[in-house]
């Protein structure tokens, strides 16, 4: 048994800091649902004005606004409170990049995490998110939420692939497209881009909604169903993008999917794979090593890969020249490779 230490000790800063993440989550999602960021963005600068606009107590508004400055989502000067660039784009409800859908799906995801102990003991997932039945309930909202998170990366990918300056028509395959976030910037940058977007039928409706909102719907057609049941045409596409799909498939099926996609690309065509990657020891970065547990909770074979592992899988599937999209400070990594 550990006795009380007789030497001087540091307090449990790491534990406290991590546990307080729950408070921050509650503060941000509640503030967003009360449209606090909308009010500040519209120019209501004092706690009294924000309180009137949002229908909460003035004292509560002051506490909330101060905490939001504390966590870095508002700034404050002599005129009062202001949105930051991040809260302006992502937390104001009228923004096309509003992350509100995440708050809607949070309770469902929390439910799985509340059962972590049982899942760790039984080794059986809490649910199977990538089975068509569950996927139909879960993925439309998740896919819409992910649009906000992935859009900035997807724009960088489109620039990296030189979409704007391509002269020839470009055929793009967006596998497990969700909201079609990874291909929409490509279509927006070049009218010669035509995208075939693949996902379960109900999620395709989400893709339709986002392609319409983004003004590119006429550049899209759809492949509806489980990728395993859809025979992809060979030597057809210039670019294929796989946004956050491999982690729910597990290694065996991911290899199969990469190999199908390799065959569907023209020689010299490129694949882009977006994933949360772990380091070679699989113990960091923190988000990726925690995401591996998330996959254990909600799939049978889901996992996260290391960069070397994914590179090897790409080479095995017939790709060469594997490189990374340069991204700073990001949980998401994007590997790009060419069909040999
Ligand atoms: C995590 S979401 C990613 C969506 C989008 N690519 C993005 O990065 O925002 C995973 C997507 O894969 C789709 N998906 C999962 N298993 C699939 C399968 N077997 N066949 C087709 N789509 C699948 C889901 O419906 C969902 O839209």
Q: Are strands 170-175 and 193-199 parallel, antiparallel or unpaired?
A: parallel
Is the residue at 71 inside a domain? yes
- Contact (Cβ atoms closer than 8 angstroms) between residue 271 and residue 340: no
Q: Identify the CATH number of the domain in which residue 52 sits.
A: 1.10.10.10
Q: What is the pLDDT along the chain (340 residues), one digit of tens a residue?
A: 788 888 888 999 999 999 999 999 999 999 999 999 999 999 999 999 999 999 999 999 999 999 999 999 999 999 999 999 999 999 999 999 999 988 888 888 889 999 999 999 999 999 888 777 787 888 999 999 999 999 999 999 999 999 999 999 999 999 999 999 999 999 999 999 999 999 999 999 999 999 999 999 999 999 999 999 999 999 999 999 999 999 999 999 999 999 999 999 999 999 999 999 999 999 999 999 999 999 999 999 999 999 999 999 999 999 999 999 999 889 999 999 999 9
Rounded CA separation 174/146 (Å):
15
- Contact (Cβ atoms closer than 8 angstroms) between residue 225 and residue 202: no
**Domain's final residue, options 31, 61, 95:** 95
Q: Phi and psi at residue 146, in whole multiples of 5°?
A: -70, -20
Q: Identify the CATH number of the domain in which residue 189 sits.
A: 3.40.50.150
157 is in which domain, residue-wise?
118-339
My answer on whether 214 and 313 are in the same domain is yes
Residue to mutate, 182, 245, 273, 295, ligand 1, most ligand atoms under 8 Å from C-beta: 245
Give the residues across from 194 on adjacent strands.
171
My answer on whether 52 and 172 are in the same domain is no
**For ligand 1, atom 4: residue with the closest CA:** 178
My answer on whether 55 and 147 are in the same domain is no
Centre of ligand 1 from the C-alpha of residue 135, in Å: 8
Please tell me if the CB atom of residue 177 comes closer than 6 angstroms to any atom of ligand 1: yes
Please tell me if the CB atom of residue 233 comes closer than 6 angstroms to any atom of ligand 1: no
C-alpha closest to that of 65 among 90, 40, 41: 40
Task: Please tell me the total count of domains within the chain.
Answer: 2
Sign of CA dihedral 162, 167, 173, 176: positive
Is the residue at 48 inside a domain? yes
Is the residue at 112 inside a domain? no
My answer on whether 213 and 324 are in the same domain is yes
Using CA atoms, how far residue 108 sits from 38, 105, 232, in Å, is 26, 6, 33
My answer on whether 198 and 294 are in the same domain is yes
My answer on whether 199 and 164 are in the same domain is yes
Is the residue at 332 inside a domain? yes
**For ligand 1, atom 8: residue with the closest CA:** 243
Q: Residue 3 CA to chain centroid, in angstroms?
A: 45
My answer on whether 128 and 25 are in the same domain is no
């Amino acid at each position: 048994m550990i006795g009380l230490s007789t030497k001087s000790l540091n307090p449990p800063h790491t534990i406290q800091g991590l546990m307080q993440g729950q408070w921050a989550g509650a503060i941000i999602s509640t503030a967003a649902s009360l449209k606090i960021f909308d009010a500040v963005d519209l120019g209501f600068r004092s706690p009294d004005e924000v309180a009137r606009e949002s229908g909460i107590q003035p004292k509560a508004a002051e506490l909330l606004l101060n905490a939001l400055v504390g966590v870095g989502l508002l700034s404050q000067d002599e005129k009062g409170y202001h949105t930051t660039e991040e809260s302006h784009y992502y937390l104001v409800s009228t923004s096309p990049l509003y992350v509100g859908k995440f708050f809607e799906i949070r309770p469902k995801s929390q439910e799985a995490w509340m059962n972590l102990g049982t899942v760790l003991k039984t080794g059986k997932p809490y649910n199977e998110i990538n089975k068509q039945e569950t996927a139909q309930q879960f993925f439309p909202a998740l896919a819409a939420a992910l649009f906000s998170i992935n859009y900035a990366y997807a724009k960088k990918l489109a620039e990296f692939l030189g979409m704007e300056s391509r002269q020839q028509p470009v055929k793009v395959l967006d596998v497990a497209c969700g909201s079609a976030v990874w291909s929409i910037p490509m279509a927006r940058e070049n009218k010669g881009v035509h995208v075939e977007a693949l996902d379960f039928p109900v999620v395709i409706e989400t893709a339709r909604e986002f392609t319409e909102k983004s003004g590119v719907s006429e550049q899209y057609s759809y492949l509806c169903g489980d990728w395993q049941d859809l025979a992809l045409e060979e030597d057809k596409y210039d670019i294929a993008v796989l946004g956050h799909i491999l982690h729910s498939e597990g290694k065996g099926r991911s290899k199969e999917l990469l190999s199908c996609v390799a065959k569907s690309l023209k020689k010299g065509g490129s694949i882009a794979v977006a994933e949360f990657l772990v380091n070679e020891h699989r113990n960091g970065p923190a988000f990726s090593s925690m995401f591996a547990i998330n996959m254990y909770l909600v799939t049978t074979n889901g996992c996260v890969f290391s960069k070397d592992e994914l590179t090897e899988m790409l080479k095995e599937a017939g790709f060469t020249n594997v490189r990374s999209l340069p991204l700073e400070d990001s949980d998401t990594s994007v590997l790009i490779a060419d069909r040999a």
